[in-house]
Amino acid sequence: SQQGEEDPQALSIQEGENATMNCSYKTSINNLQWYRQNSGRGLVHLILIRSNEREKHSGRLRVTLDTSKKSSSLLITASRAADTASYFCATDEDDYKLSFGAGTTVTVRA
Partner 1 sequence: EAGVTQFPSHSVIEKGQTVTLRCDPISGHDNLYWYRRVMGKEIKFLLHFVKESKQDESGMPNNRFLAERTGGTYSTLKVQPAELEDSGVYFCASSQYRETVFGQGTRLTVV
Q: Which of 99, 104, 106, 108 binds partner 1 (CB under 8 A)?
A: 99
Cis previous bond, 8, omega within 30: yes
DSSP character for 16? Answer: T
**Residue-wise DSSP of 30-62:** SEEEEEEE-TTS-EEEEEEEETT-SEEEETTEE
Q: Within 10-39, which residues bind partner 1 (CB under 8 A)? A: 30-31, 33, 35
Of the candidate residues 101, 104, 106, 108, the single one contacting partner 1 (CB under 8 A): 101
Closest to partner 1 by CB, 75 vs 98, is 98
Give the one residue of 29, 84, 91, 103 binding partner 1; rule: CB under 8 A: 103
